[in-house]
Amino acid sequence: MEALILSIAFSFFTYYMVKVNFQVHDEEEIDVVMSNIRSILCLGTGFMVMYMMELASRYEDPRPIVLFYHLLSCLDGFLIFLFPTDVMIKTGAVLVYFICFEALTFAGLFMHRIFPNSKTTPKVVVAGMVIFGATRPLQILWVGTAVFSSWDDDNMVKWQAVMQIIVTGVLTVLQVWTLKIHYGIWKLCTSTTNKKEKYSSIERGTKQMIIGKSFYQATILVQNKAITCSSSADIKGSSFSFDVDEESALSSDDSKA
């Protein structure tokens, strides 16, 4: 569910972030800017609700690092509504936006639970790790740029800027640390897939051996005559049946005696 929500929200979130941060607006377009900011806040609120629901689903066996990460993210989201200053909105929007890049990691977790033996599952987990890990430096860079580019502005609240820098650093460290969990899941998926392929190859080889031993032609010399016969052999009993007349069989037994 998280993967689906984040994937759908990504395109909308990207549109509003570009409009707010990279498009120049006139003073007459302030209503448009405020509308875009409200849309970002609505998306951020939806992500906070998603995080709280995920926390509620993990109440039986929560991971401490994941629990702390979600609580810190939700706390920072609440602070944006308590202190809706320019620096809080800009940095908070960046932190919420980069949550969208967790979509593939959630998809990998889902596939690990539903399709643990699929060959595609390890690939999705690795793709999620690469995208999620590669975007963490961009997250720090964007927040740092948003803070220090407006450090000398009159409306800059210094303690909020410092707090957001610290929160961003802590969240980024936790996010990178969670990659260790995803790496463990990837190893588990890979080992499971390799075992399945090994057992499948053994099973295929066994079937081929049974088929090869079950159908073959044997040449038996009975009374200096070559009789070609085909046998459907049972792998356990290896029983054979031949079309030999009764007199020939008796003479064969006498010669053996």
Neighbours of 218 (CB within 10 A): 12
CA distance 205 to 66: 45
Please tell me whether residue 111 adopts helix, strand or coil conformation. helix
Q: What is the pLDDT of residues 162-171, one digit of tens each?
A: 999 999 999 9
Specify whether the CB–CB gap between 115 and 121 falls below 8 A: yes
**Hey, what are 213's tokens?**
């031993």
Contact 218, 231 (CB under 8 A): yes
The first and second tokens of residue 11, run together, are 């395109």
At 54-83, the pLDDT tens digits run: 878 776 777 788 888 888 998 998 999 899
Which residues make beta-bridge pairs with 230? 217
Q: What tokens appear for 74 in the block?
A: 């939700």
DSSP single-letter state for residue 60: S
CA atoms within 13 A on the CB side of 132: 30
Structure tokens that stand for 107 in this block: 């998809």
**CB of 111 closer than 8 Å to CB of 118:** yes
Q: What is the mean pLDDT of residues 87-116?
A: 90
Closest CA to 95 of 24, 154, 41, 39: 41
In the structure, how many helices (H) and strands (E) does the chain have? 8, 2
The radius of gyration of the chain from alpha carbons, rounded to an integer in Å, stands at 34
Cα 164-22-7 angle, rounded to 5 deg: 75
State the amino acid at position 76 in one-letter form: D
pLDDT > 90 in the chain, percent: 32
189-220 per-position pLDDT tens digit: 888 665 555 444 444 545 455 444 444 444 44
Residue in 179, 142, 178, 127 with CA at minimum distance from that of residue 20: 142
pLDDT in tens, 103-157: 998 898 888 888 888 888 889 989 999 999 999 999 999 999 999 988 888 888 9
Q: Distance between CA atoms of 43 and 39, rounded to whole angstroms?
A: 6
Answer yes or no: are the C-beta atoms of 164 and 147 closer than 8 Å: yes
pLDDT of residue 196: 54
Inter-residue contact 148 to 98 (CB < 8 Å): no
